[in-house]
Structure 1
């Protein structure tokens, strides 16, 4: 059962199309897994549509004072050569073919995972493996905001850390836990510098993550990596 959801602010931003692509992807995936949030987004979208419609009704019609002669309009010859128009369209070498949908599944450490639809056409890097952690970067070109798929093998963990900026984690498969609770597929976790945690997994898990700054390791020898943390997130 999903217990962690995007904030109302994120859901509103998603409905209005104002979120960065990486965060919008995370919200879209969550909504496909969570009927409650999908219903909230549908309601927000309907409200926005009503607001736009009402605004259009209050605007003066540009043509309300114009006079049209329907008879003369109907009798006017159509100065259009459909044969030449179609030929011009079919000869346009700028029209590109429809892009092919990428594979809907990935394999990590010998295990297959189905990708959520919002990730099907996103370019991903090769997997970087460090111990029980594997990471693939998503190429969304969003400057300081980086997004990844993160796989943790069974009995693996991420060293204890806090966050210089924000971090969003959406659990896609498996489960993990930290000092704040246990998480299951569909859980959408928002963290910032106020949180310090050590995610661990017994069965293994696959997550979609978004962050706008490096992790700050807070225990043991892992703190040695903090000076180059900006290169690791």
Structure 2
């Protein structure tokens, strides 16, 4: 069951089309998995469309509007069969993960899987710009060392479940972490856990030996 969602403000900004591309992508993927948020986005989108229509209509005289509608209705619309989008599947060491529809296209920009500390695997995604995106997989018993964030991190659970000392997360859950949060993501699920993350600055490790790699954290989570 999905318990963690984008805020209404985030969903409204997404629906208005003014959100940064990377953030828009991860929220779109969450909506692929969450009917509740998808319905909210639909409502926000309708409200924005009505507002825009009213603004445009206020500047158009009735005769011009009638001519415009006549032109539209007189056009022949091609209603050919549209291609049905199929969800892409990621593979790692024999495991297969079905992606939310919005993440289909970025799988083509995905780098190779690399093994990080412990039982953590990472595959970078090239989104362009300064935002860093990754698929991260934690095997059963895997854990990311305790850390906080120099910037912000958005995470979507694509498959599986994990805990971080703050809460328990399941498939579809969406979270935003920043410098106010200190957590230690880990999973004991047999199937492990796959997440999609975007960050704008490297992590900052806060405990034990992991603090030693802070000067190089951008090399591990890039």
Does TM-score exceed 0.5, indicating one fold? yes
In structure 1, runs of 5+ residues without a counterpart are 65-100
**In structure 2, C-alpha distance between the alignment counterparts of 1:220 and 1:182, rounded to whole Å:** 23
In structure 2, runs of 5+ residues without a counterpart are 65-84
Aligned to 1:138: 125
Aligned residues of 1:102 and 1:121 also touching (Cα < 8 A):
no
**In structure 1, C-alpha distance between the alignment counterparts of 2:9 and 2:136, rounded to whole Å:** 25
- TM-score, structure 2 normalization: 0.83
Correspondences of 1:27-38 after superposition (within 5 Å):
27-38=27-38
Give the superposition deviation at 1:63.
Answer: 7.8
Pairing partner for 1:160 from 143, 146, 168: 146
Aligned residues of 1:164 and 1:213 also touching (Cα < 8 A):
yes
- TM-score, structure 1 normalization: 0.79
Aligned to 1:174: 160
Consecutive aligned runs of 4 or more in structure 1 exceeding 3 Å deviation: 60-64
Give the superposition deviation at 1:102.
Answer: 9.5
Q: 1:21 to 1:102 in 2, by over 3 A?
A: farther
Pairing partner for 1:217 from 200, 205, 218: 205
Give the superposition deviation at 1:142.
Answer: 2.0
Give the superposition deviation at 1:220.
Answer: 0.6
What SS class does the counterpart of residue 201 from structure 1 fall into? coil
Aligned residues of 2:161 and 2:193 also touching (Cα < 8 A):
yes
Aligned residues of 2:156 and 2:197 also touching (Cα < 8 A):
yes
Aligned to 2:10: 10
Aligned to 2:50: 50
Aligned to 2:70: none
Larger radius of gyration: 1
Correspondences of 1:74-223 after superposition (within 5 Å):
104-122=88-106, 123-130=109-116, 131-143=118-130, 145-203=131-189, 204-223=192-211
Bigger drift between 165-174 and 108-117 goes to: 108-117
Pairing partner for 1:229 from 196, 211, 217: 217
Give the superposition deviation at 1:21.
Answer: 2.2
